[in-house]
Amino acid sequence: MSKPGINAGIEKLRAEALDIFQAGVAEADPARAVERALDAAGSLPVPGPGGVIRAVAFGKAACSMGQALGAVLAEAGLGWRGLAVVNRENLAEIDGFRVLVGGHPLPDDAGVEASREVAEFIAEAGDNDLTFLLVSGGGSAILSAPAEGITLADKLDCTSRLLACGADIGEINTVRKHLSFLKGGGLAARLGGGELVTLILSDVIGDDLSTIASGPAVADPTTFSDSTRVLRARGIYDDVSPGVRERLEAGCRGEVPETPKPGAPVFKRVSSFLGGSNSLSLAAASRRARELGYTVNVFSEALIGEAREAAAGLAGELVRVEGQEGGIAILAGGETTVTLGGTGRGGRNQELGLAFALESGVGSSGRAWSLLSGGTDGIDGPTDAAGALVDSLTLERGGGSPRAALDDNDSYTFLEAAGGLLKTGATGTNVADLQILLLAPRG
pLDDT in tens, the chain (443 residues): 344 345 758 999 999 999 999 999 999 999 999 999 999 999 899 999 999 999 999 999 999 999 999 999 999 999 999 999 999 989 999 999 999 999 988 889 999 999 999 999 999 999 999 999 999 988 988 998 999 999 999 999 998 899 889 888 789 889 999 999 999 999 999 999 999 999 999 998 889 898 888 899 999 999 999 999 999 999 999 999 999 999 999 999 999 999 999 999 999 999 999 999 999 999 999 999 999 999 999 999 999 999 999 999 999 999 999 889 899 999 999 999 998 899 999 999 999 999 999 998 645 457 899 999 999 999 999 999 999 999 999 999 987 899 999 999 999 999 999 999 999 998 989 999 999 999 999 86
- Alpha-carbon separation of residue 385 from 84, 263, 299, 348 (angstroms): 26, 43, 24, 11
Phi–psi pair at 220, nearest 5 degrees = -105, 115
Rounded distance, CA 257 to CA 244, Å?
15
Q: What is the dihedral of CA 186, 189, 190, 196, to 10 degrees?
A: 110
Closest CA to 415 of 359, 362, 345: 345
Closest to 334 measured CA to CA, from 356, 310, 318: 310
Residue 163: per-residue pLDDT: 84
Kindly report the pTM of this predicted structure.
0.86
Give the C-alpha separation, 3 to 443, whole Å: 12
Predicted local distance difference test score (pLDDT) of residue 2: 41
User: Which sign does the torsion angle of CA 185, 190, 192, 196 carry?
Assistant: negative
pLDDT value at residue 211: 85
How far apart (Å, rounded) are the C-alpha atoms in residues 374 and 214? 23
Which of 187, 260, 198 is closest to 223 using CA atoms?
260
Domains contained in the chain, CATH given: 10-26+279-439 (3.40.1480.10), 30-145+180-222+259-276 (3.40.50.10180)
In a 3-state reduction of DSSP, which class is residue 337? strand
C-alpha distances out from residue 193 to 190, 196, 270, Å:
9, 9, 11
pLDDT of 8: 57
Cα 433 to Cα 337: distance, rounded to the nearest angstrom: 11
- Give yes or no for a contact between 102 and 111, defined as CB atoms under 8 angstroms apart: yes
HSE (CB half, 13 Å, CA atoms) of 356?
Answer: 35
Q: How many angstroms separate the CA atoms of 269 and 89, rounded?
A: 34
The predicted pLDDT at position 9 comes to 84
* Edge-first strand listing for the sheet containing 97-101: 97-101, 81-86, 53-58, 130-135, 195-201, 270-276
